[in-house]
Chain A
Amino acid sequence: MANWVPLWLHRLGSPPVFYRFAGAVRPWALGLALVLGAVALYAGLFVAPADYQQGDAYRIIFIHVPSAWMSLFIYGAMAVAAFVGLVWRIKIAEVVAMESAPVGAAFTLITLVTGSLWGKPMWGTWWTWDARLTSELVLLFIYLGIVGLYHSFEDRRQGARAACFLVLVGAVNVPIVHFSVNWWNTLHQGSTVRLVGPSHIEASMLWPLLTMMVATKLYYIASLFARVRADLIASEGGKAWVRDLLVREGGAA
């Protein structure tokens, strides 16, 4: 591989460089996320045909499914960042992992709420101990534990390292939870309602879904970068580059 890639990544590991990079990327990611999200919502709510079984109620999948994907995707991204941060002791990676957690928790919560809203017309109940919903609930607890651990330390850096470690423990745990909950679900013969799998889905329903997926990813990037910038300003407050920045921005205002 051309060696400018590792070189560029190495440069990005420096807080001021990452701060500027995140500041440059964020407005574009946010703008694109909003536009794509609006398009996907419009297409999903008005253009896509009603489902022959579920009527209009199914339209919640345009929020529910991308959120569910993001709840897992962000965990994956967070685990990679946590691993990089712990092994190579790169501060930016630790911050990225830690600031991913609240975003992931938010998507998990959206998944749970929309899932339960969808459950009411479909299953006739707000909550059912369905294997996927239960796994998602456990995932929410994992996210909350990570956020809680990060904020329970006096020393931010130490808190980040401990919480990054918990991210990796959780990464091992998530598949085990999913497997055990599946086993438990079949054992107890709970709800057997199977939802429409995304594999046999109408194309006019699929493209809004995929558009929304891209929009949520861009939103994650925008939200993450804003959080990382705030975290960096707070934790590097005493450093020269932050002081320079304040002087410059203060002068511009």
Chain B
Amino acid sequence: MDFLGIPRNNRRMPASAEPPILLEARALSFSRQDEPVFGPVDFALRAGEIALVEGDNGSGKTTLLRVLTGMLRAGEGEVLLDGLRFSLDTMAGAVVFLGHHLGLKFDLSARENLRVSAGLYGLRADADADAALADTGLAGFEDEPVRRLSAGQKKRAALARLLILPARVWLLDEPYANLDRDGIALVNRLLDDHANRGGAALVTSHGAVSFAGGEPRRIRLHA
């Protein structure tokens, strides 16, 4: 099963053809107990694009990502994946979400955690758990229970999961939190590689971020 819908050879399209839209929000807004949280927001995320969601604390960045995963139902507007409205049942692992809670089992080792994720989501073609862990700087820590890793290392273990899953759209909530300078560079490199493979990502952050590929798209949320 390969969910990387845009294989490498497909990306050599004529320069005039725009990459396809992976994730699109139309007039998306969300209210909690009749208090508007964000929106309406419009954006379209094309293959190979990284967008930064900006906004102050409380402006609804996390909520936006959770609505995009389908876990929260949008108040108004719609979310389209590959041009189709989607729900939790139909999106078939095309989206992967990394939130404040990393989704790691602390009693399992990093390698075991990755194995569980691969079992649930499938393994990306030519991806390998140990290589992903080495890539995120966890070589030598593969069999250590996640409990014993530092906060930054836990984050890196969660990032390694992104590398082995076939999802095309990454929704990353504050991926830079808890990371040192090297870690931030790592996130940027991973995002860059993901974009070059034809994936797309939506990243929230309240810090300034620079991508290797220049200025990212910015989606601004107002409190």
Chain A residues proximal to chain B, CB less than 8 Å: 155-157, 235-236, 238-239
Contact = CB atoms under 8 A, between A and B. Distances in A.
B32 A155 contact: yes
B32 A238 contact: no
B33 A155 contact: yes
A173 to B, nearest CB: 27
Contacts of B32: 155
A155 B31 CA distance: 12
B182 interface: no
A155 B72 CA distance: 14
Give 8 closest A-B pairs by Cβ, nearest first. Answer: A238-B34, A239-B34, A157-B33, A155-B33, A236-B34, A238-B35, A156-B33, A235-B33
Interface of B: 32-35
Contacts of B35: 238
A239 B31 CA distance: 13
Contacts of B34: 235-236, 238-239
Nearest to A154: B33
Nearest to B35: A238
Contacts of A155: 32-33
Nearest to A238: B34
A156 B34 CA distance: 11
A239 B35 CA distance: 9
10 contacts: A155-B32, A155-B33, A156-B33, A157-B33, A235-B33, A235-B34, A236-B34, A238-B34, A238-B35, A239-B34
A156 B35 CA distance: 13
A197 to B, nearest CB: 49
A94 B32 CA distance: 16
Nearest to B73: A89
A157 B34 CA distance: 10
Nearest to A91: B34
Contacts of A235: 33-34
B27 to A, nearest CB: 19
A155 B32 CA distance: 9
A157 B32 CA distance: 9
A239 B36 CA distance: 12
Among B32, B33, B35: residue with most chain A CB under 10 A: B33
B214 to A, nearest CB: 42
